[in-house]
Amino acid sequence: MGILKSGILGPMLNKTGTAVGRMHRNINVISAIPRKKKNKPATTAQLEVQDKLGMLSNFLSHIDHLIKPGFKKYSKGKDPVNVACSYNYDHAFVSDETGLKLNYPKLMYSRGYILEPESPGIMALPNQIEFNWLPQRQSKYCQYTDMATVMVYNPGKGDFISMSEATDRYAQGYVLNIPPNFAGDTVHCYMSFASNDGKLQGNSTYLGELVCI
Q: Digits of tens for pLDDT over the chain (213 positions)? A: 555 555 555 555 566 666 666 666 666 666 676 666 667 788 888 888 999 999 999 999 999 999 999 999 999 989 999 999 999 999 999 988 888 999 999 999 999 999 999 999 999 999 999 999 999 999 999 999 999 999 999 999 999 999 999 999 999 999 999 999 999 999 999 999 999 999 999 999 999 999 999
pTM exceeding the 0.85 threshold for the entire prediction: no
Sorted by where each starts, the structural domains of the chain and their CATH numbers stand as: 3-32 (no CATH), 42-111 (no CATH), 117-213 (2.60.40.10)
Angle at 148 between CA 142 and CA 152, to 5 degrees: 140
Residue 138's pLDDT is what? 98
Q: Give the distance from CA 134 to its chain's centroid.
A: 29
Please, which residues have CB within 8 angstroms of residue 108's CB and are 6 or more apart in sequence?
70, 84, 87, 88, 203, 204
Residue 18's pLDDT is what? 64
Identify residue 107 by its one-letter amino acid code.
L
